[in-house]
Amino acid sequence: MGLPTADETANMAEMEMQWAVKAMHHADTYMKLLRAVGPGKFRLCPIEDELHADFRKNFPALDVARLDESEFKTEAAKAKWREFMTKYEGRVADYNFGTLVRIDCAGEYTESNSMFAMRTQFLCIEIARNKEGLNAAVAAQ
């Protein structure tokens, strides 16, 4: 397998731009929903309660108020998350699609307060934030 051609490189740049636009749209929509409806007053996915219980069983000490990127980016963390998320293939829409998640739940989506995550990770974190009352401050802004 060789290096990509110039045409393929242009396509990759276009794909990255499309992903970025979709991710920002998702982030904007989520923040509008938090503010309009309120945290915990809507469901992020049909299996929200099951996902939250399994998340807290497997990641009991993960601080969802302020994320530590090392709990997602190290090789050991990636392996643990991969094993966890695989259970939800076919049950969570776009379970491994890349998206953005806020690092500090009290803040907006900004370049310094966002990190890349998989859709299942986003759901686990935001469901926990909603159920644990952590999104109340940002929803009131």
Residue 118 belongs to domain with CATH number: 1.10.3560.10
What single-letter DSSP state applies at residue 62? -
In a domain, 44, yes or no: no
Asked if 90 contacts 58 with a C-beta cutoff of 8 angstroms, the reply is no
Q: Which amino acid is at 36?
A: A
pLDDT of amino acid 70:
92
- Cβ atoms of residues 101 and 119 within 8 Å: no
Work out the angle between the directed axes of helices 48-58 and 119-131 (0-180°, nearest 10). Answer: 90
Domain membership of residue 48 (yes or no) is no
In whole angstroms, what is the distance from residue 87 CA to residue 108 CA? 30
122 found inside a domain: yes
Work out the mean pLDDT of the chain and round it to a whole number: 87
Q: What is the DSSP letter of 136?
A: H
CA atoms within 13 A on the CB side of 5: 2
Residue 3 inside a domain? The answer is no
Q: Has residue 115 been placed in a domain?
A: yes
Residue 14 has pLDDT above 60, yes or no: yes
pLDDT for 44-79, tens place per residue? 999 999 999 999 999 999 999 999 999 999 999 999
Residue-range definition of the domain harbouring residue 125: 8-39+54-139
What average pLDDT does the segment 79-90 reach? 96
Q: Is residue 118 part of a domain?
A: yes
Q: What is the mean pLDDT of residues 79-91?
A: 96
Q: How far is it, in rounded angstroms, from Cα 107 to Cα 105?
A: 5
Q: How confident is the model at residue 6 (pLDDT cuts 50, 70, 90)?
A: low
Residue 46 lies in a domain: no
Number of domains within the chain: 1
Assess if residue 47 is contained within a domain: no
